[in-house]
Homo-oligomer: A and B are copies of this chain.
C-alpha cells in the first residue's frame, strides 16, 4: 500500500481527461460481466466488449456491469463513453491511486472507494473500486479479480433478502457495505497483531518489537488515508441529496455510515495504543540498561578495593612489617572478606541487589 503515486510524471502536461493508467502494472485484458435482474428475472453473462451489452432503458430492473481490470484505458474509455461519463471521471477510474470521493452528476453518481485486505504475505493490499450508479444500472470497476462480490452475486441469483426487489441504489449500497465490512476483518487482524506485540512487550521485548510497532503504525497511517475520506463520501450519499437514492435506502446508508465512523474510531484508538506501547518499550529498555549498569557497578565496587589491597601486599618493599607477621596473610584475607561483605550490605540497603 504505497503512500506516493509513482509514475505520475507521465501525466504532467497532458490535456485534462487524458486516460493514463496509474498503479501497479497488470497483464491480461479486462473482463466485463453483465447481470440483469428484476424481482422476477435474472440473467448473467460475460461480454468481451461493451458494445455487446444491450441495455434497455425502458427495462424496470437493474443492470449491473462489473469490470475487472482498469489498466486497458481504451476499454474504460469505451465503457465511459457508452454511459456518457465525463472524461475527467474516466481518468479518475484508471488512476488507481485516487482519493476516495463522490461526485454527483444529475443522472449518475460516481464513487471511488478502497478495498482493503491482507495478502498471503501479511501485507495490506489497497485496491481501488469505482462505482457509477445510474437510474437503472450500476457499473463497478475492480483492479484485480477477487471473489469479494461473490456473495452478492449469489444473493441475486437466489433472490435472498430484498435485493432483487429494489433498485440500483440498493445494489450500490450492498457493494459499499461489503467493502466497509471487510475493513472490520482487516482491523480484527491488526487487533490480533497488537495483542501479540503487547504480550511480547510484557514478556520478552526485542529489537523486532519496535519494528513491528513501527510497521503497524505505518499501516494504520496508510489505512486512515483510505478510510477517513469515506466519512464525507458516505455521509453525502446518506443525506440523500441525489434523487437517484430512494428514501427507503437511506436507513441502510446510515447503517454503513455508522460502520465507517466505527472503523475510523478504531484506527485512531489503535494508533493511540501503539504510541503508548512504544513508550512502554522505551522505559523497559531504559530500565534494563539501568539494571545492567547496576551489575557492573556492584562488581567493580566490590572487586576494585579488594584487588587494590592484594596489590599493596604484592609490593616488593624490603621493609613491609605485615609480610613477616605469622597470620598476616589470614589477616589480609579477613580484611578483604570484611570489605566485600560491607559493600554487599551497602548495595542491599540501596536496593541494587
- Chain A residues with a Cβ under 8 A of chain B: 2-6, 8-9, 11-18, 86, 88, 92, 98-99, 101, 103, 150-152, 155, 160-163, 173-174, 177-178, 181-182, 184-185, 187-188, 190-192, 202, 207, 210-211, 214, 217-218, 221-222, 224-225, 251-252, 254-255, 258, 261-262, 265-266, 269-270, 272-273, 276-290, 292-297, 299-301, 303-308, 310-320, 322-329, 332-333, 336, 352
Instruction: Give Cα distance in the complex from A162 to B103, angstroms.
Output: 22
When distances are taken between beta carbons in the complex, the residues of chain B under 8 Å from A11 are: 181
With the chains together, A306 CA to B304 CA distance in Å?
10
Q: List 22 A-B contacts (CB under 8 A).
A: A3-B273, A12-B178, A12-B182, A15-B163, A99-B258, A99-B261, A210-B280, A218-B273, A221-B272, A222-B269, A292-B294, A303-B305, A303-B308, A307-B308, A307-B311, A310-B314, A312-B333, A314-B316, A317-B328, A317-B332, A319-B325, A320-B329
State how many angstroms separate the Cβ of A160 from the closest Cβ of chain B: 6
Contact of A318 among B88, B190, B324 (CB under 8 A): B324
Q: Could you say which residues of chain B place their CB within 8 Å of the CB of A282?
A: 282-283, 286
Tell me which residues across on chain B come within 8 A of A299, comparing CB atoms. 297, 300-301, 304-305
Q: Which B residues lie within 8 Å of A285 (CB)?
A: 283, 286-287, 290
Query: How far is the CB of A302 from the nearest CB of chain B, in Å?
Result: 8
Distance to closest chain B CB from A267 (angstroms): 10
Closest to A270 in B: B3
Minimum CB distance partner of A272 in chain B: B221
Q: How far is the CA of A292 from the CA of B304 in the complex (A)?
A: 16
Question: What distance in Å separates the Cβ of A213 from its nearest Cβ neighbour in chain B?
Answer: 8
Partner of A316, one of B152, B281, B323: B323
Q: Which of B12, B178, B283 contacts A185 (CB 8 A)?
A: B12
Contacts of A266 in B (CB 8 A): 3-4
